Structure 1
C-alpha cells in the first residue's frame, strides 16, 4: 500500500516510514486541496476531516488478534526481531489512555453489505482464493513462531512480550501471558535483590552454594555468614533463595565454573591450605581438563600434597 508520494526535487528533509517531512513542503490531499500538518518533524495527521472521496484505504494497524501477534514477528528497521513499539492490542474503552483523540467512522449497513458482496465477487472473478489461503497459512505460521519466542523469553524479553500481549483474548495467549507474568515478577525480585544486596553479596552467595556442593560444611557456614552480614539475618530463608538467584545470574556455560574453582585453589594454596587447594583444583580440572593453567596447578598441588 502506498501511503504517500512526493517529488524528488522538492524541499524534503527526511523520508520516514509513513511520510516525508520538511518545513518548506506543501502537502495536499488526493483531490488537490492543501492542508497543514502543524508539525514539520513527524507530520502526524491533525485534521480529521480527510474523507472527502467516495473511495479510500483504511490502514488497520492492529487487525485481528492473531494478525497483530503475527505482525510482531516482522521486526523493525532497527534490526529488532520483534516489533517492540506496540503498547499491546487496542481496547475500545482504553484507546484514548494516552490522551489522543480518535474519530469514529461509521458506514451505512446497506453500503457495507454491498461492499462485502462486491469484494467476494472480486475474489472469485480473479481466482484469488488460493493466494489468500497461502497468506493465511503464512500468518498462522508466523504467529506460532512469535508464540515460541515468547515462551522461551527471559529477562527483559519476557517483560516485552508481556506488554505486547496486553488485551489479547486468545486462550493460548492468555495462558502464555500468565507464564510471562511470573517471569516478570521473578525478574523484578532478582533486580531488587541485586540492587539491595550488592555485588559482594552475589559473590558470597555463589561461594556458599559451591561450597555446599563440594561438601565443605565449615566453609559453607562461613561464607553464608559473610553473605548474611551483607544482606539478611543469618537464619533468614531469603539467604538461600539469594544464593539460587545468584547462580542463575551466571550467563556463561557451566564449564566456566572452572575459573571460580581455579581462583579459589590459588587463594587457599597461598594461604597454606593445601588440602583445600587440591579439592578446588580437582574440581577445576573436571570442568576444564584441557586448561593449561589448570593442568599445571593440578599437577603441582597434588604432588605437594
Structure 2
C-alpha cells in the first residue's frame, strides 16, 4: 500500500502484485490433494478469481538512487553466488507457465466455467490464444455432436418407410460418432432387415 509523504531513508519495497505470467504459472500448482504439474494431468487452482490489476499509485526514485540500488543488487548476487539458483527458479516458473497454456488447450469441457473464472483479467496474448483454442475446440465438437444427433433422428423418422435412406443417414451419423452404441445397433438392425429382403 502506498502512503503519500516523504520516504524514510531506509525502507523495504514489497511488490504486492505478481506479473500476469507469474499468476498464470501459479495456477498450475493444482488443487489440494490433486497435484500433478504435467500438462496431461494438470488441474488449475480453483480458489483464484482472476488477475487483479496493479495499483496506479507509484513511487519514483531519483536516478542516482535507483542506479546505486541496481548496482548493489547485482553485486549481492555475484558475492552470494546465487545467479544459478535464480535462473533455475525463473526457468521453473516459465516451464510451469507453458504447461498451464498446454493444459488449458486440453481441458475437458466441464472446466469452461473454471477457466473463465481464474483467467478473468488476464490479457497476455499467449493465454488468450490458449483460451480461444479451448473454446473453439469444444464448439466444433459440440457442432459435430449436434449434427450426429440430427442425422440419427432423421434416420429414425425414415426407418418405417425407407430403410435404405435410414441406413445411409445412420451411417453418416456413425462417421461423426463412431463409438455411438445406439447408432451402431441401428445400423446392424437396418442391414439385417435389408439382408432379409434379398
Partner residue, 2:77: 123
CA RMSD of aligned residues (A): 4.9
Map 1:97-246; keep pairs closer than 5 Å. Answer: 104=57, 106=59, 108-109=61-62, 111-182=65-136, 186=139, 205=150, 207-208=152-153, 216-218=164-166
Greater relative contact order structure (CA < 8 Å, 6+ sep): 2
169 and 258 in structure 1: CA distance in 2 versus 1, 3 angstrom threshold: closer
Given the superposition, is the C-alpha separation of residues 161 and 109 from structure 1 closer, same or farther in structure 2, using an over 3 Å criterion?
Answer: farther
Once the two structures are TM-superposed, the CA of residue 125 in structure 1 deviates from its matched residue by 0.6
- Contact 1:150/1:158 (<8 A) preserved: no
Distance 2:126 2:149 in 1: 41
Q: How does 1:61-72 map onto structure 2 within 5 Å? A: 61=17, 63-72=18-27
- Structure 1 residue aligned with 2:14: 58
Q: 2:181 & 2:135 partners in 1: Cα distance? A: 35
**Cα displacement string for residues 148-191 of structure 1 (whole angstroms, at most 9, x for unaligned residues):** 1112234232443344344444433333333345457x39xx6x
Query: Which runs of no fewer than 5 residues in structure 1 stay unpaired?
Result: 1-46, 93-101, 191-200, 224-242, 267-274, 283-301
CA contact 1:88–1:167 (8 Å) conserved in 2: yes
- Choose between structure 1 and 2: higher helix proportion: 2
Q: TM-score, normalised by structure 2?
A: 0.59
State the TM-score, normalized to the length of structure 1: 0.41
Structure exhibiting the larger radius of gyration computed from Cα positions: 1
